[in-house]
Structure 1
């Protein structure tokens, strides 16, 4: 308890120092626009605030557009911690020296984010795996930061007129639950296990997800099968592993759409780094730290929305999105439909050189999600955050289609199995 209180006090002092430096910079003339200043401050404050910034970026129905757009730049990439710290955490996790379990562990990480970093390792029997290792002190920092933010938000709701309607404290509380789950790697291990069971149950052998080494995994270490492959945007490399890149993409789409029906969750972050074409031609889904769960009521609206997108029936799309969201007034469907037509026609015109060259523009995808949410807000509709997650995945796949199968229509092609969405 004393140790926790000490760490809590140190973290509060660090936070005060960063805020003080930001304030001093403002007084000395460093006065960028408020959204950029807040984003820069969040990045200096580290893990919790980076995650909060990413939440802001993914919730255009909750936060002002200028903040949502600015926080698209809030990257979850941080300098790696020393390998000696990684070895110490592994020793604490396993209760013995890591050399007893691993023939080697690569000191240079494959990736480093705010919560964890990933290292390649080799077992004594020759199997190559990856270790996702939580960085030191992350959980205590998150708890301290979010407790402080929750108390501050409650005070704002009590003392600032109108603030209670924003439900900031409820957002912080939800974020705390999500981040605590993300800090428990056993939760991600369960997601991986469940997704693999879904693939087995449905007889899908052309896709996979990393197997978990449960005996080597725990709350702070996730040991997984090492998958070797290339990004779904790397057409030249895909051709080495697949005779038909278009069919490979169709298979990826079918797996993802089927997971909406037959799995308890959907992969909510299918960006190019998390969707691979493996050396044996299969599709590899990796990183199940972010998943989405949607109620049947929202699924009903999504089915109607996809039918509308298929027929380019903007009125039906407006009716579907009205069903999905919570309206605070009567919605003029014709006006909303016209707004949606403007947005989707703009999307269809975006055949940019970047897409043709194999690049997926993350900023443009986020901007389109923001445009849809802004159209909803303009017409009195507030969408759940999960809706934005879903739409974002559709947009990722739309970009992959532009690269791998430019003549294909995701909502019209009979090879893509979307039927039975409601189940």
Structure 2
């Protein structure tokens, strides 16, 4: 079996920081040569067709724009669907990693898919739950209320009258994902000359964290435990506006998740919110506070707070749904985030700690290539973060608080890479990959990708958008007392 074991998991059910249930290992199916060859040929046809004009111009030695391969890559992702669409979504939310032009191109890469025939849905439900569908749900809508690349969601009713949402894993998706994860790395390496080593390098690095994300999403028991854990956390803090749907364990399994149905509209549906006659400002403020409470106190957070996953309910609360992606900060990343907030709140010593942390991550050589002394490096970081304490959402980039300093160092790192030939870069990637594989074989993570920090930057981009919509005259750290108190709190058990 091809096992994808997320970082830090040593048992099928383990507890992490603050009692957080770590994901179970994911066993993707072993693929025979026929299955892998079929997906490889399909992938080669799609990529070849979309990149044909670029290949032709390369053969004729014609000049090409620096990022001519971005659009063909996006079109290929959309045609291949499933795994590639989800990967494209990560690119769309990562302007600090790939540049705004790449992020903008991939924002059209929507995580959507066709409905699944109802007889297949019935088969999955009955196989996972061990009894006929009608014995579980007296009412079950054959048409989905949502259809994404990996799962579909149907509305149903339990025998006690509770309305539920039933999330079902797409049939056959595990084999497709297993094949795609095997093929992505060689494809990105081969395309390095067409899309540029500056884009191919981050793609390969992002792929490391993406493996972990997909591994967790393919087993709905992970999502169920996450929802139960965060519901318990919310019960211990007074945030009455925030609601997480209740999952029903007796009607859930690896491929199916039955949960409380929440009736509402997405947070960016301004006309729908107006019909509810509810003031969204205090609700949005409370959701942001809830996110920071779990992040600062426990180092875990909802990893995909796009508008579709934050729903304003008819009763004036905010429903936080779709817990398939959850960020877990490493001890170093968790401490880094605390330092950032401490610094923004006026702790002078925290600035130097932040600078030292970034120097350790990127290496002295990369920092020196910026042409800054240690004190100038600290000042640069301070200039990017400190204004966020007083400036309102409408005037700042919230993601800068965590990603801004790293973007500067990333640019310096990219500059060093650009001085190497494509062959040298590819050879370096392969050598690094060999080292990671050896580390993974001997119990290490096999990856240097900091998925937690990456997901934080992604969520802050979402919160920045909501802040500009509803709280444009308020800064993130407007409530200094809340954040000072938060830094003193123990993890929520």
Q: TM-score category by the smaller chain?
A: 0.7 to 0.9
Deviation at 1:390?
A: 1.7
Compared with structure 1, are the counterparts of its residues 15 and 379 closer, same or farther at alpha carbon in structure 2 (3 Å cutoff)? Answer: closer
Deviation at 1:367?
A: 10
Compared with structure 1, are the counterparts of its residues 220 and 230 closer, same or farther at alpha carbon in structure 2 (3 Å cutoff)? Answer: same
CA displacement, residues 262-296 of structure 1 (integer Å, 9 cap, x when unaligned): 44511122222212232223322111111111133
Q: 1:376 aligns with which of 406, 409, 415?
A: 409
Partner of 2:354: 320
Task: Measure the CA separation in 2 of the matches of 1:69 and 1:103.
Answer: 45
Aligned partners of 1:198 and 1:263 also within 8 Å: no
**Structure 1 stretch 218-227 or stretch 239-248: which is displaced more?**
239-248
Deviation at 1:318?
A: 8.6
Aligned partners of 1:77 and 1:113 also within 8 Å: yes
TM-score normalised by length of structure 2 = 0.68
Partner of 2:468: 402
CA displacement, residues 161-182 of structure 1 (integer Å, 9 cap, x when unaligned): x99x959777545433321221
1:99-110 paired onto structure 2 within 5 Å: 99-110=134-145
Compared with structure 1, are the counterparts of its residues 397 and 64 closer, same or farther at alpha carbon in structure 2 (3 Å cutoff)? Answer: closer
Unaligned runs of 5+ in 1: 353-363
Task: Measure the CA separation in 2 of the matches of 1:340 and 1:112.
Answer: 44
Partner of 1:198: 233
1:82-231 paired onto structure 2 within 5 Å: 82-150=117-185, 172-202=207-237, 204-231=239-266
Aligned CA-pair RMSD = 4.3
Partner of 1:355: none
Deviation at 1:117?
A: 1.2
Residue 334 of structure 1 pairs with residue 376 of structure 2: yes
Aligned partners of 2:384 and 2:405 also within 8 Å: no
SS in 2 for 1:393: helix
Aligned partners of 2:251 and 2:257 also within 8 Å: yes
Task: Measure the CA separation in 2 of the matches of 1:322 and 1:366.
Answer: 20
Compared with structure 1, are the counterparts of its residues 87 and 243 closer, same or farther at alpha carbon in structure 2 (3 Å cutoff)? Answer: closer
How many residues matched?
Answer: 407
Compared with structure 1, are the counterparts of its residues 192 and 149 closer, same or farther at alpha carbon in structure 2 (3 Å cutoff)? Answer: same
Compared with structure 1, are the counterparts of its residues 421 and 345 closer, same or farther at alpha carbon in structure 2 (3 Å cutoff)? Answer: closer
TM-score normalised by length of structure 1 = 0.78
Compared with structure 1, are the counterparts of its residues 110 and 421 closer, same or farther at alpha carbon in structure 2 (3 Å cutoff)? Answer: farther
Compared with structure 1, are the counterparts of its residues 224 and 73 closer, same or farther at alpha carbon in structure 2 (3 Å cutoff)? Answer: same
Task: Measure the CA separation in 2 of the matches of 1:418 and 1:396.
Answer: 24
Unaligned runs of 5+ in 2: 1-28, 58-63, 415-447
